[in-house]
Structure 1
């Protein structure tokens, strides 16, 4: 339902998104049947295609050409897909969006090579654009994302971390790629430097808000809505904002001890979720998300007058207020 609502927000871009979707299918095609099947499995799991949307919306401020924009949007979505495959290996995740992950359907080795293949395809696609700035931004983005994956491994099951550590992690995990999507779409369309800066900052702020909400929904949504067990982030050792805000709570600590020991029962998982859902942590996390969302909307206000500003605002509000 939420995905349908998002599609309605950018229904006027449907024909261009369809072009990008077909190009993604071509991009994951491989001479290896194994890699081909694994890549298609990931692609067909779907997704909101948020990054391509922001590429197109950013480009609307300049010389919009879908044939050029698809060569920006496709590699950014590929990078996102590749990072998901690697994340599932790191987190030992069996389900994503209600479907078996690549590592679950095949194994860790196939998943890692599939992710590497998709990363490589992203680099191949971006070579179609001659602007060296585009290549520099994409390279910088990929380096930071990989650094983020390593940091995520280092931070697993580590309660002695603060808000700074969390925000640093989600910047690299989510916000950076959304920010780069807005920036690259605008740069490739020849948008002026000041507008590019506002779009880049907008993408960063909306990406931070989006990831905080994602972490809240991992607690608040049902297993069915998530397509995986609620609280999976914590069970996999990822300390998200709601848990970070409760780490010193004496009633929460026994649950954390059992999670880290791998002895948490199903009944205890349900009790833990109920406790977190009723705690101050959820409201605090939502407030932090709202602060980032407000900053994102301020960046939209600073953009030059253009009909697409309303679209940016609508998509940002959807991302910061979604239910799952």
Structure 2
């Protein structure tokens, strides 16, 4: 989901507030993605890292730490760690999904090859663990290593859930908590841990990250169907064509009559998609109200995320984090 299309951009205000930290993180990323013996590593990494991503996840680590009064520099290493984990997963995802574009540019696997993307992703995972260790904080290492495992688990679960009409809402939530929310949660949580905050604050930051990440992915999934109104546009229906079961479809399948279920079985399980099927799928989602319901569920996760921050002290960064949570679902309302 792009964060560029709404009138206000809280992530840009956050970038300005954290400009010095972000510059230091950028320098650290460039230094650690270097390789003395394998020049392809920085070539592939730079293609993705320098492609204009918002760096929301590492920003959340920096913001959480600064919000908690941290004044050291270990949070910068943790932010770089989070970005390396995220970049590694993108490289691997593009191979798995056979993607050809990422952030408006050809993917690394298309420009180089699948082997390069996978191996460079592995290298970045290794670099991320080196950075974690340098903070000297075992709990941080535990949180981020668990997140890396959860991300991989979520991606594998998505493979088994795809194209399967038996996929439940519970499985869907497990997938998006793995593939997306886990890193949001860990990014926020380690900011509190490195600051030496008590459990109440650390838990609040983790809860915020989880709610934000779940809402972020749900919004992305809903926008693929044209938003809550189901408006067909240029990129509408990519998930349908790829036969992915996201929340609007899962709920529509649960309520389907025999004819509707036969439609979903043909288009999703068998992959037999014909002209007009996307429009019919949209009509079924509208008929059962699952687009609006998905918007409401995403908004509920945003509300939980914002409520979690209420125990933290008043601070401009706290308000930016609250605004960011509102922002990821703004186009759904």
Q: 1:159 aligns with which of 149, 156, 165?
A: 165
Q: 1:74 aligns with which of 61, 76, 80?
A: 80
**Residue 153 of structure 1: SS of its match in structure 2?**
helix
Matched, 1:2 2:1: no
Q: Normalized against structure 1, the TM-score is what? A: 0.88
Report the equivalent of 2:230. Answer: none
Superposed displacement of residue 285, structure 1: 0.3
Distance 2:284 2:311 in 1: 38
Distance 1:81 1:318 in 2: 23
Superposed displacement of residue 74, structure 1: 0.5
- Contact 1:134 / 1:184 at 8 angstroms: preserved in 2? yes
Residue by residue over 1:224-263, the C-alpha shift from the partner in whole angstroms, topping out at 9 and shown as x without a partner, is: xxxx943223333431112212225445853662354444
Report the equivalent of 1:319. Answer: 328
Moved more, 3-12 or 62-71: 3-12
Moved more, 282-291 or 300-309: 300-309
| Number of equivalences | 316
Q: 2:312 aligns with which of 303, 316, 319?
A: 303
Q: 1:42 aligns with which of 44, 48, 63?
A: 48
Report the equivalent of 1:64. Answer: 70
Moved more, 58-67 or 166-175: 58-67
- Unaligned 5+ runs, structure 2: 228-233
Q: 2:210 aligns with which of 199, 204, 214?
A: 204
Q: 1:128 aligns with which of 116, 131, 134?
A: 134
Q: Normalized against structure 2, the TM-score is what? A: 0.86
Aligned-pair Cα RMSD in Å: 2.4
Distance change (3 Å), C-alpha of 1:118 and 1:258: same
Distance 1:207 1:293 in 2: 9
- Contact 1:55 / 1:185 at 8 angstroms: preserved in 2? yes
Distance 1:277 1:29 in 2: 48
Matched, 1:13 2:18: yes
Any residues of structure 2 matched to 1:1-324 within 5 Å, and which? Answer: 1-2=4-5, 5-10=9-14, 11-30=16-35, 31-65=37-71, 67-220=73-226, 229-248=235-254, 249=256, 250-251=259-260, 253-254=262-263, 257-265=266-274, 267-268=275-276, 271-272=279-280, 274-275=282-283, 278-279=286-287, 280-322=289-331
- Unaligned 5+ runs, structure 1: 222-227
